[in-house]
């Protein structure tokens, strides 16, 4: 298993005989936050040299809408194609492929949401002659994808597993700062977690199996399953995956304090008072998960680091409220993922 960054990509074209199953008679309307979502059991064929190698393949019907109502939607696809050399009818390669996908998505909005998908892909290529002049390829890429708006920052935790002679991936692209993704290969599983800012988000879950007619094997297949949990910052239970990660700092402290990292050995969070604290601040009050942890004024407003205790297994939200000598007030907040 490996975790890696991948770039956003659309699902491949699909081909073949279609079977669709929606496991609810009357799906509820999609959430207003969802711009687009679908499942697609994609199969694609290609060949080279196009000048002398003809490929016959079926048409490519489209995907099926996925609604954020928690109802699973399934699509399966089986397809076949033939590649023939225009000057030699004995130079023939038979291609086939299949894809299956079942996915569900709970309502996307201000609360927690879950996106699940299981995907299975297979592809085969069999040439009638070992010395054939036409290269041919079969690729199956079944998957699910969605675009929607997050109204607030959320932790995105991807967990998944898979097995076979191919690979599968799940990714969450915030379309602004980057992509968090989990890629699994033969007999592998794993998880990865990251903070996703509010705004447009693109999600994709996909498996892939492909084979060429010059491969040493004639067929490949792969199956995997993924769960993507979207959890509001500060929610309980904490998301799974690597712990202690911090959100961006919200608000401005007027240079009085700096919210540091979380130490997962103890669970504590560091708050640094700067040199400006005594000059600019009259009082500094620090809370952890709504409970007052420290109240500083007078001589206590000196440059130093305060470590705030917090339970390692739970997320932590630190809020610092500052009364300035000017009479104004300032507040700064930062959230931290649970340590795992």
Has residue 69 got a pLDDT over 90?
Answer: yes
Residues 23 and 102: their CA atoms lie apart, in Å, by: 10
Determine the average pLDDT of the residues in 132-138.
93
3-state SS of 216-238 is CCCEEEEEEEEEEEEEECCCCCC
Largest CA distance in the chain: 93
Instruction: Provide the pLDDT for residue 91.
Output: 94
Has residue 204 got a pLDDT over 90?
Answer: yes
Instruction: Provide the pLDDT for residue 234.
Output: 62
Instruction: Provide the pLDDT for residue 15.
Output: 28
C-alpha dihedral sign at 167, 168, 172, 173:
positive
Closest CA to 135 of 59, 55, 68: 55
Where does the pLDDT of residue 237 fall: very low under 50, low under 70, confident under 90, or very high at 90 and above? Answer: very low
- Mean pLDDT over the full length of the chain: 83
Residue ranges of alpha helices (H) inside the chain are 276-280
Residues 18 and 262: their CA atoms lie apart, in Å, by: 51
Where does the pLDDT of residue 174 fall: very low under 50, low under 70, confident under 90, or very high at 90 and above? Answer: confident
239 three-state secondary structure = coil
Determine the average pLDDT of the residues in 39-66.
89
Residues 241 and 231: their CA atoms lie apart, in Å, by: 13
pTM: 0.65
Beta-carbon contacts of 12 under 8 Å, excluding residues fewer than 6 positions away, are 42, 43, 44, 139, 141
Has residue 128 got a pLDDT over 60?
Answer: yes
Beta-carbon contacts of 216 under 8 Å, excluding residues fewer than 6 positions away, are none
Determine the average pLDDT of the residues in 123-130.
93
Residues 206 and 187: their CA atoms lie apart, in Å, by: 16
Where does the pLDDT of residue 10 fall: very low under 50, low under 70, confident under 90, or very high at 90 and above? Answer: very low
- Domains of the chain with CATH codes: 2-232 (no CATH), 250-336 (2.60.40)
Has residue 17 got a pLDDT over 80?
Answer: no
Has residue 328 got a pLDDT over 50?
Answer: yes
Has residue 240 got a pLDDT over 50?
Answer: no
More confident call, 225 vs 25: 225
Has residue 12 got a pLDDT over 50?
Answer: no
Measure Cα distances from 337 to 193, 267, 331 in Å.
Answer: 10, 10, 20
Give the burial string for 179-200 (b: 16+ CB within 10 Å, else e): bbbbbbbeebebbbbbbbbeee
Span 138-153, pLDDT tens digits: 999 999 999 999 988 8
Determine the average pLDDT of the residues in 157-179.
85
Of all residues in the chain, the percent with pLDDT exceeding 90 is 49
> By the 8 A CB rule, do 77 and 24 touch?
no
Lowest mean pLDDT among 99-108, 166-175, 233-242: 233-242
């Amino acid at each position: 298993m490996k975790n890696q960054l991948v770039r956003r990509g659309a699902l491949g074209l699909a081909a073949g005989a279609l079977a669709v199953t929606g496991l609810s008679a009357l799906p509820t309307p999609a959430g207003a936050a969802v711009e687009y979502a679908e499942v697609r059991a994609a199969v694609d064929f290609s060949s080279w040299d196009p000048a002398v190698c003809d490929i016959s393949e079926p048409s490519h019907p489209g995907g099926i809408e996925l609604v954020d109502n928690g109802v699973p939607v399934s699509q399966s696809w089986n397809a076949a194609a033939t590649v023939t050399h225009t000057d030699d009818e004995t130079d023939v390669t038979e291609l086939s492929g299949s894809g299956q996908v079942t996915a569900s998505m709970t309502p996307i909005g201000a609360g927690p949401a879950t996106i699940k998908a299981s995907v299975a892909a297979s592809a085969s290529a069999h040439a009638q002659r070992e010395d054939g002049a036409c290269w041919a390829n079969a690729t199956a890429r079944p998957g699910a994808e969605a675009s929607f708006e997050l109204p607030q920052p959320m932790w995105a935790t991807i967990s998944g597993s898979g097995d076979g002679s191919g690979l599968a991936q799940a990714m969450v692209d915030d379309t602004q700062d980057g992509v968090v993704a989990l890629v699994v290969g033969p007999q592998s599983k794993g998880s990865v977690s990251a903070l996703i800012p509010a705004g447009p988000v693109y999600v994709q879950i996909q498996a892939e199996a492909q084979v060429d007619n010059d491969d040493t094997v004639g067929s490949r297949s792969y199956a995997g399953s993924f769960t993507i949990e979207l959890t509001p910052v500060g929610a309980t239970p904490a998301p799974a995956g690597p712990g202690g990660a911090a959100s961006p700092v919200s608000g401005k402290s007027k240079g009085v304090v700096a919210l540091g990292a979380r130490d997962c050995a103890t669970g504590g969070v560091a708050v640094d008072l700067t040199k400006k604290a005594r000059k600019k601040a009259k009082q500094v009050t620090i809370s952890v998960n709504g409970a007052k942890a420290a109240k500083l004024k007078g001589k206590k407003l000196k440059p130093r680091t305060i470590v705030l205790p917090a339970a390692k297994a739970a997320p932590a939200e630190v809020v610092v409220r500052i009364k300035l000598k000017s009479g104004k007030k300032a507040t700064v907040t930062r959230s931290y993922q649970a340590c795992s």
